Every structure is written in C-alpha cells, then in structure tokens.
Structure 1
Amino acid sequence: FTPFLSSGVRGAMYLSMTGAIFLTIFGNLAIIISISFFKQLHSPTNFLILSMAVIDFLLGFTIMPYSMVRSVENCWYFGITLCKIHYSFDLMLCLASIFHLCSIAVDRFYAICYPLHYSSKITIPVIRRLLAVCWSAPAAFAFGVVFSEAHASGIEGYKILVACSSSCPIVFNKLWGTVLFTVGFFVPGCIMIGIYAKIFVISKKHMHVMNNMPGDANTDVRSQLSKGKDRKAAKTLSIVMGVFLICWFPCFFTILIDPFLNFTTPLVLFDALNWFGYINSTCNPFIYGFFYPWFQKALKHIIRGKIFNPHSSTTNLFTKNQSQ
C-alpha cells in the first residue's frame, strides 16, 4: 500500500527532486570539465576523482529522473525491461562509487606513507587498470544479478508483484542481500576506514620526523615528508568517503535486514533511503568546492568563459596571487 499524495505535496516533491538532479548534474559536470580541461590537474588522483564525477553525473542524468517519477507517482510507467535496466545501472553506479573510493584510498596511502616510491608505483597505466576494474566488476555483478533475477530467487510472489502492481521494487533475497551488503559495502568500508586511519598515523609520524630534522638535512627528503597538500587531499577525500558511507549505509542495511523481516519494510521508507543515497552524488562537488581552491579557481574560469581563451588549459590554478 502506498499513500495518496495531494497535488501540492507532489508538486513540492517534483520541485525539490528536480533541484537535487540539477545540482548533481551540473556540479559534477563542473568537476569533469575542470579536470579534463586544465592540464595542471592531470594527476593520478584527479583522474580517479574525474571518473567518480562521471559516475555521479550519470546517476543524476540517467537514474534520478526516472526514480523521481516513481517516487512521486508511486508507480513505474516505463515497462519491465527498462525497470531492469534502471535497477542494474542504479546498483552498478553505487558499487562503482565505492570501488573508486577504495582506489582513491590506496592512491593516498602510497602518496603519504611511501612518498619516495609513489611516482613509480601509481602511474597512469596503473590508474587505467584500476578504473577498468572499478567499472567492469560492478557492471558484471549488477547486470548479471538483476537480469538473471537471482536477487529475487525464492521470494514468494515477486513476479506477480512486478507484473501486476506496475512497480519497480528494490528487493533482495537473504543470500544476495547479505552478499551485497558484505562485498559491496561492509568490506570496502572497513578497508577504507583502515587505510585512512593508517594514513593519519603515518602523517603524524612524518610531521614529527620533519620537525626534528636539522636545517641542513636533505631537502628532498624534507619536501617529500612535508607534502601538506597530500595530507589535505587525504583529509578531503576521507570526508567524501564518510559522506558516502553515511548516505548509503541506511539503504544497504535495510536491504540486508528486509528479507529477514519477511519484507515488511514500507516501500515509502525504502524509496526515501534510496534518495538519501542519491544525495551523496549531489554533495561531492560541494565538498570539492569547499576544500579545493583549485576547483574554485577552475570553476571561475569556466563560468567567466576564460576556458575559450588561447592557452587557458595551461593556467596555473595553484598560485595564490594568480590573476583571476
């Protein structure tokens, strides 16, 4: 049973959700343009951030509009085939996000904990292989599970529910609900938390070493150990990770426990938790914009149309006294 919504409530929902979609699309598009256009931003870490922004952009452009109609109208108007495609892409993009966050955590681990070996370990070919895994593994899992309907195997009345209720329900049986929560969320989340905890411990040790080094010590070592921007990047990306975990944990946890509660979770609650997860993709560009001065400067260049000027792709985005 889904409650009837008045025209006023539906209008407010459409307005707020459209606003979230707009911010998600254009916020992540700004990240994509900034990193793609400005050569100074072509680094391994930023290529991972670029790929994650593409994921968030696709979620806002291809998934959220259909979910908005389903949420407001309490009905799926687009047919069973598109339901499966929508469901598959939704699951794929969510899993791809957490895979990217794991890759970013590994990148920051090497940059801060092993700075002297970072450039030889984390190269562009390595990043390409990481990105291939981050996209292909979630795609294979999501499309395989959804189109085989393994996620709903053994659920009594699932086919009748889909065929007769004009809905596109988010349903996982006990096995696949546990697999999804464990492999797609719990294990990667623990890995990321462990890596960032290690990063901050090592970072403090590096600061202690640097503060106790004599003034005439090897300047290369000092400069490697004093990578302030690397530590700041790790802190910023740990916030991105924290927001992701907070936004998606309620949805993942509900998927885990719902089959053990005989699927008694109200569809309205499921839908609300799913949208809470979507909001993560809306937040990421604002986190980057707040913590990364290079993104603020790049955004000013984009808005003012300076990217159309000759040689603007080589603009220095890191100089404090740079002309705006």
Structure 2
Amino acid sequence: MIFKMNTYLDDNYNSSLPGYLDYSVLSAFILFAIVGNIVVILSVACNRHLRIPTNYFIINLAIADLLLSFTVLPFSATLEILGYWALGRIFCDIWAAVDVMCCTASILSLCAISIDRYIGVSYSLQYPTLVTRRKAILALLSVWVLSTVISIGPLLGWKEPAPKDDKVCRITEEPFYALFSSLGSFYIPLIVILVMYCRVYVVAKRTTKNLEAGVMKEMCDSKELTLRIHSRNIHEDTFNSSKSKGHHPRNSIAFKLFKFSREKKAAKTLGIVVGMFILCWLPFFIALPLGSMFPALKPPEAIFKIIFWLGYFNSCLNPIIYPCSSKEFKRAFIRILKCQCHRRRRLRWWAYNYRNWNQGSFERSRKDSLEDSRSFLSGSQRTLSSMDVICGWARYPPAQ
C-alpha cells in the first residue's frame, strides 16, 4: 500500500535505490510474484479435489496479489528506478487507488480465511453445510466491494490538494481518510484475524484432547476392520460395514479424528500465510503513522524503502508457502509445472472431501490420513500405528 513512499522522496528525485534493490532484482521479484500466483490459481482450477470453499479464499488472495503484481508493482519499480513519477496525475490517482484496493482485498481475504478456519475446526462435520460454494462466493464479492469502497475515496475528491508538480505521486495524506483507510485496510481485519486464530487454538486444543481419548477407546474396542477396499465398491463396502456395526461412519470417533485432523492441518497452513502477511505489513503500518504524526520518529529513507517493499514482498510468499506446507498443493504445483492439468484415475481409499467418498488416490490418502492422525496425536506421542500394535491389528495390501 502506498500511503506514500514519495513523502520521503519529494526532496530528492535523483536518489537511487541501493544496489540490492536495483532494476534486475525488482524485475525478478515482480516476475516471480506473477508466475507464482498464476500457478496457485491454476492448481485449484485444474484439480477437482482442491475445489473446496477454503481454497476459494486462497484463489481470491492469489487474484489480489496477481492484480497487485500486474498493475501496481511495475509502476512502483519504475518510480523507484527513476526517482519521479512519469505517467501524469490521472494515472497516478488510479494507480494509487488500485494499490490500496489490492492490499485491502488481500488482508480481507485473510480475514475471511481465518473465519472459515474457525468454522472448519469448531464444526468440522457440519462445515460442508455451513460453508457452501454459494456462501463462499458471496463472501468474496463482499471482500471486493468493501475494498473498492475503502480505496475509491480519493478518486471522488476525498483527498488533499494535488501537488503542482506532476512528477510527484502520492496517496492523499488527508487525516480523516488516512485514519479511515488504515483502520479498514489493516487494523480492524487484523483484530478479527487474531481473535479467530486464538479461538481456533483453544478449540483445537480442547477437541484434540477429547478425540484423542475417544479414538483410542473406539479403535481398541473394535472387533473388526475392513482391510480391503476397492474404489468401485467403496460406498457399498463402507455402508455394509458400518451397518453391521450398528452406526454410520460419520458418527465414529475415527471419522471425526480424520476430518478434524485435516481441518486442523489446513488451519496450520493458512495460519502461516496469515502470519507472514502480518510480518510483512506490520512494520509499514507502524512506521507510517509514527512518521506522519511525529516527524522526529520518521525512519531513514533507506530503512523506509526496505519496510515499504517488504509489504510488497508478501505477494510472492504465498506460492512458496502452499507447496511447502501442503502435500496436495505440492502435487498440484508439480502437475501444473509439468503441464498436466487433469488427474489420472487411480485406486482410491477412504477419503472424505466434504461431499464425496471417492476423492484422493488409495495409497496417498491412506498415507496422508495416517500422517495427519499421527500429527494430531503428537502431544501425547500416541499414533494410529501404535494403536495398531496395542489392539493387535494387522494391515494387508489393497485388493488388486
């Protein structure tokens, strides 16, 4: 967001960037942000199992970062290299408004993600009915409407008089608009995000403890376990097995463990995304008001440039975080980079993707679910594999 770096550049148009922020570095950074966010969007669009409401918010975040990378960063880099604005007053106002809109949309998307994760962790079994595709799309439209409302003020005249020199381009420093945009673009969403993730932590800790005790009891008391499941008859086999036991699989502790562990893992991944966003933008929103209200506390120009571009740097972090934190995104990224948009049909295992029982390959889903459960029970060092030993279970390979 550009509230505005030119405040520190007005007195010296010819000041050049330090060597580590030269043209080649900025170009590489912008190119990586563009390509990375395109890959994120294609990963969800081209992989059916990733098309879930949670990932709609991730796509929206990627779209905001992509729009920022296309329409704002190239001109910000040009301004840094030249030391002055060369595109005229009208385009300066539009550019500044788009900058505010994209950055606001990013943090509001993260705010929506935090609320989504709270619902997913607190009501993991009811999540598919609470967060539908239609509700997710309406939430995303609300994000962009609110972002537009916050950013459009200066275009409608809510700004201080423009500088006489068209080579000076800055977002208005009109006090009331600066306060309004700072609260709406950062501080209020930040408070919501922190409250939601504190609630996620409390609920996850309590639910983990309850399910940990319940799953060990249920698994050890169980007298039979379906050992061979084929993708074609998984519905029938699961239904018959659960019917013979006298309860629906959705009511079993093991199923609740499976669902909750996946929601918890998604919350951790998106928590990293939120944390990095705050880490990148918080220094800017601390330095900006302090420097505006107390000139003596204004940081040196070189330091402010680093703080300013640190916020922009966040646009290329998410394409790194997703594949590092999520195996599903990692596999999707690899397929996109190999130009393989459609998944192959493979043997599948019990994996519930909110509405279907046939999602995910057999071997990968079993491995991922066991790893999720192992992570889920890591607090007491009790894993599903150790329960197998306690209960005397044996596993066999899937039917060929």
TM-score (normalised: structure 1): 0.87
Q: Secondary structure at the match of 1:163?
A: coil
Q: In the alignment, which of 91, 94, 109 is matched to residue 85 of structure 1?
A: 94
User: Is 2:340 the counterpart of 1:312?
Assistant: no
Matching residue of 2:277: 244
Q: CA deviation at 1:12?
A: 5.6
SS at match of 2:55: helix
Which structure's residues are more often helix, by fraction? Answer: 1
Task: Give the one of 233, 247, 250 matched to 1:220.
Answer: 250
Verify the 8 A CA contact 1:10 1:72 in the aligned structure 2: no
| Residue 103 in structure 1 maps to residue 135 in structure 2 | no
Return closer, same or farther for 1:243/1:286 CA change in 2, 3 Å cut-off.
same
Match of 2:81 in 1: 72
Task: Please state if 1:300 is matched with 2:334.
Answer: yes
Structure 2 residues without counterparts, runs of 5 or longer: 1-10, 223-246, 349-358, 365-400
Distance 1:12 1:138, change over 3 A: closer
AA at the equivalent of 2:256: Q
What is the CA–CA distance in structure 2 between the aligned matches of 1:11 and 1:250, rounded to whole Å? 20
Question: In structure 2, do the counterparts of structure 1 residues 268 and 169 end up closer, same or farther at CA, with 3 Å as the change threshold?
Answer: farther
C-alpha distance in 1 between matches for 2:201 and 2:362: 26
Worse-superposed segment, 206-215 or 170-179 = 170-179
**What SS is found at the alignment partner of 2:168?**
coil
Which letter does structure 1 place at the counterpart of 2:175? K
Pairs within 5 Å for 1:102-141:
102-141=111-150
Deviation at 1:248, TM superposition (A): 1.1
Query: Distance in 1 between the 2:164 and 2:65 partners?
Result: 31
Q: Which amino acid in 2 is paired with 1:148?
A: L
Q: What's the CA shift for 1:262?
A: 5.7
Could you give the per-residue CA deviations for residues 268-310 of structure 1, whole angstroms, max 9, x where no partner exists? 6554433111101111110112101112111211222222xxx
What is the CA distance between 1:115 and its match in structure 2? 1.8
Q: What CA deviation, in whole Å up to 9, does each residue of 1:155-193 have, x standing for no partner? A: xxx52xx33160212442332222222232112111111
User: Partner of 2:392 in structure 1?
Assistant: none
2:317 counterpart residue number: 283
Q: Which residue of 1 aligns with 2:183?
A: 182
Q: Give the superposition deviation at 1:251.
A: 1.9
Identity of aligned residues (%): 26
Q: In the alignment, residue 155 of structure 2 is paired with which amino acid?
A: F
Query: 2:293 aligns to what?
Result: 260
Distance 2:126 2:55 in 1: 19
**Residues 149 and 247 of structure 1, relative CA distance in 2, 3 Å threshold:** farther
| Structure 1 residue identity aligned to 2:60 | S
Quote the Cα distance in structure 1 between the aligned partners of 2:296 and 2:174: 9
- Residue 148 of structure 1: aligned partner: 156
Q: What code does the residue aligned with 2:61 have?
A: M
CA gap of 1:109–1:117, structure 2 versus 1, over 3 A, is same
| Structure 1 CA distance for aligned equivalents of residues 32 and 80 of structure 2 | 19
- Say whether the 8 Å CA contact 2:291–2:297 is kept in structure 1: yes
1:94 and 1:237 map into 2 onto residues whose CA distance is 18
Separation (CA, whole Å) in 1 of partners of 2:100 and 2:19: 26
Q: CA RMSD in A?
A: 2.6
From 9, 12, 34, the equivalent of 1:2 is 12
2:6 aligns with none
- How many residue pairs get aligned? The number is 310
Matches of 1:321 and 1:225 in 2, distance apart? Answer: 19
Secondary structure of 2:128's counterpart equals helix
Q: Is the 8 A contact 2:88 2:166 kept in 1?
A: no
Structure number with greater Rg is 2
Any conservation in 1 of the 2:85–2:169 contact (CA below 8 Å)? yes
Q: 1:99–1:134: 8 Å Cα contact kept in structure 2?
A: yes
Work out the CA distance in 1 between the residues paired with 2:20 and 2:209: 57
How far apart, in 2, do the equivalents of 1:74 and 1:235 lie?
41
Partner of 2:22 in structure 1?
A: 13
- Indicate conservation of the 8 Å contact 1:109/1:199, yes or no: yes
- 1:166 alignment counterpart: 167
